[in-house]
Structure 1
Amino acid sequence: MTRPFRQQVDESILDQAAALFARRGVAKTSLQEVADAVGLSKTGLLHHFPSKDALREAVVAQANSLGQRVLDQVRDLPVGVDRDRTALEVLVDVAFAHPGMVAMLLIPVARGGDDVVVPGPTDGGVGGAAFDAFGVDPVIPASERAVRVAGALAALAVLSLAAHHDDQISTWRPHIVATCFDALGHGRVARSGSDQVED
């Protein structure tokens, strides 16, 4: 198996595992369920990840890697409108490419519990990187900006999952970005029949 293909297969496994972990929790998700979701035998899955613990650790590592990719694309921009717009564009693309990770990131918000896989906003991962991308420290007491960022991220997650589920990624993408941009407190104006953001 060539390296790019193997990486693509591994990413697919990790995203399916993340989706199952989100739905059922790690403890209640079997390796057989993950194997079935990706069309492998259990032995084939174990060839990629030798145990459920290894799979769980790989999911966390993938979340951290995705978070780093987001930060790499906005790091050099000053905090403000342009950085917000770029961060939203990047995060929407990440969300569409990795819906299982997005579902898993919603678990602490939706139901909490001890069976959460991805590190919280203070520990890294896509969640922590998302706050960092907007220049917000999630550890300090909540400010209006922090609440707006949290609202925009929650909307982005829910809407991207719905768009993915309904196979409407390209149709919904500009509307998701515009909605999240509004949630951040930036205005919108309709020009030439399409929604575009204004500063």
Structure 2
Amino acid sequence: MARLTRQYVDEQILDRAAGLFARHGFAHTSLKDLADAVGLSKAGLLHHFPSKEALFEAAMEMGRTQSQHVLDQVSPLPDGPARDRRAVELLVDFALERPGLVALASRAINTLGSDETDDGDNGLAGVDRLVFDVFGVTPDSGDTERLVRVVGMLSALAVLSLSANRAGDKTGWRPHIVTTCLDALGHRRASPSPSPFDLAQAEA
């Protein structure tokens, strides 16, 4: 059996820890909670990350790195449905592999404009700013509809990626998650043509 690399183990730890931070917040997540979640003793966890603060910052940095990667991929595309689709597909693929990190990013975005500082949030500094850049919107742009749609899409993505992992069917869920996210952004699929049965029912 191949030995797991340190990077892979660290990424698994970060994702599980991020999911815990997303559910309970930084202040209400203890080192013991984190160790239990990743299946390590507190000493074992501290061997990978020297403190809870270091673990949280590493998780946020991993999210920022992925968000920057998505931004780099979509930046050459003009604003519009094609760019949104590409961004959503990249984010869905990442979310299905790292649902905890996406949940943490969603939490940071969903607390914008609130007085919540539990997670050391400094406004649009980090993963949340980068995600907004991906979709070409900022909270102070005046485009309320677009802002609401982007926040709603990210919230749906976090919930659905977690559900897909729990269901153990990431491949089967993926196209439906992509469609749902695009719907949230306002890119609805054209309604299918009615079947002969539907037409007969309507005429009856």
TM over 0.5: yes
Provide closer, same or farther for how the CA distance between residues 61 and 130 of structure 1 changes in structure 2, counting only shifts above 3 A: same
Measure the CA separation in 2 of the matches of 1:67 and 1:185: 22
Q: 1:123 aligns with which of 122, 125, 130?
A: 125
Amino acid at match of 2:82: D
CA contact (8 A) 1:56 1:117 kept: no
Question: Which residue is equivalent to 2:71?
Answer: 71
Alignment match, 1:160: 161
Residue aligning to 2:88: 88
CA distance 1:82–1:13, shift in 2 (3 Å): same
Q: Whose Rg is larger?
A: 2
Matches within 5 A, 1:126-145: 127-145=128-146
State the TM-score, normalized to the length of structure 2.
Answer: 0.80
2:161 match: secondary structure? helix
Does residue 114 of structure 1 match 2:117? yes
Residue 157 to residue 117, structure 1, CA distance change in 2 (3 Å): farther
- In the TM superposition, residue 12 of structure 1 has moved relative to its aligned partner by 1.0
| 1:52 to partner: Cα distance | 1.5
Distance 1:16 1:51 in 2: 16
Greater RCO between the two (CA within 8 Å, min separation 6)? Answer: 2
Matched letter for residue 181 of structure 2: C
Structure 1: distance between partners of 2:119 and 2:10: 21
**Alignment identity in percent?**
54
User: Who is 2:11 aligned against?
Assistant: 11
Q: 1:38 maps to which residue?
A: 38
> 60-69 vs 81-90, which deviates more?
60-69
The letter of the residue matching 1:79 is D
Q: Secondary structure at the match of 1:188?
A: coil
CA apart distance, 1:119: 5.7
Question: Aligned AA for 1:77?
Answer: L
Cα offsets for 1:150-192 (capped at 9, x unmatched): 222222222222222222321111111112212222231478x
Q: What is the alpha-carbon distance in structure 2 between the residues aligned to residue 186 and residue 25 of structure 1?
A: 33
Q: Give the AA of the match of 1:114.
A: T
8 Å Cα contact 1:88/1:180 also seen in 2? yes
Q: Give the aligned residue type for 1:80.
A: G
**Aligned residues: CA RMSD:** 2.6
TM normalised by structure 1 equals: 0.82
The residue matched to 1:161 in structure 2 has which SS?
Answer: helix
What is the aligned residue count?
188
Whole-Å separation in 2 of the counterparts to 1:143 and 1:25: 27
Structure with the largest fraction of strand:
1
Q: Structure 1 residues 119, 104: closer, same or farther in 2, change over 3 A?
A: farther
Q: Which runs of 4+ in 1 moved over 4 A?
A: 117-120
CA distance in 1, matches of 2:181, 2:81: 12
* 2: CA distance, partners of 1:147 / 1:24: 24
**1:124 aligned partner, one-letter code:** G
